Amino acid sequence: MQAPYAIRVLVLGGVLNLVLSFVLGWVLSMKRMKEPMAKHHWLLVAHTVSLQEGLMLLGLGFAMSFAVLGKTMAATGAWLLVLASAFQDFSGVVNWLKGTGDQFAEKSTGWLLASINAVLNTAGLAIIAYGVLRGVL
């Protein structure tokens, strides 16, 4: 039996985040062999965040199996969360590449990407949480 579309979107997004985290971990390791950590703070953030986002999406893929939502609404929630994770992942990468110090003080491009993530994540999580609450209560 094939999983519903929204669950497949979340699982694929989760696995792609884990792959990105692994790749960023290799890049970070190679950089750290030659240079101090302080220079690569945002690369470490991107590595850690992509791991967290991947696990979150995989967990939400499981939670989605309990959700009571229409197919379109479920897919919308799943895609919002996967897109949000991409914005969050690449906010750290962009900050690292641009040598950002404090993304909030500088209102950096990475800060803008992270802000978009916050909006998309809030909407996607609200949809999924609503569906899960309907399904388990």
List per-residue pLDDT tens for the chain, 137 residues long: 577 999 999 999 999 999 999 999 999 999 999 988 888 999 999 999 999 999 999 999 999 999 999 999 999 999 999 999 999 999 999 999 999 999 999 999 999 999 999 999 999 999 999 999 999 99
Q: How far apart are CA 41 and CA 112, in angstroms?
A: 18
Total number of domains in the chain: 1
Report the amino acid identity of residue 124.
Answer: G
pTM of the model: 0.93
Q: What is the extent of the structural domain holding 93?
A: 5-136
pLDDT of residue 3: 76
pLDDT of residue 1: 57
Assign residue 26 the CATH number of its domain. Answer: 1.20.120
Distances (CA, A) of 23 to 85, 104, 112: 16, 26, 23
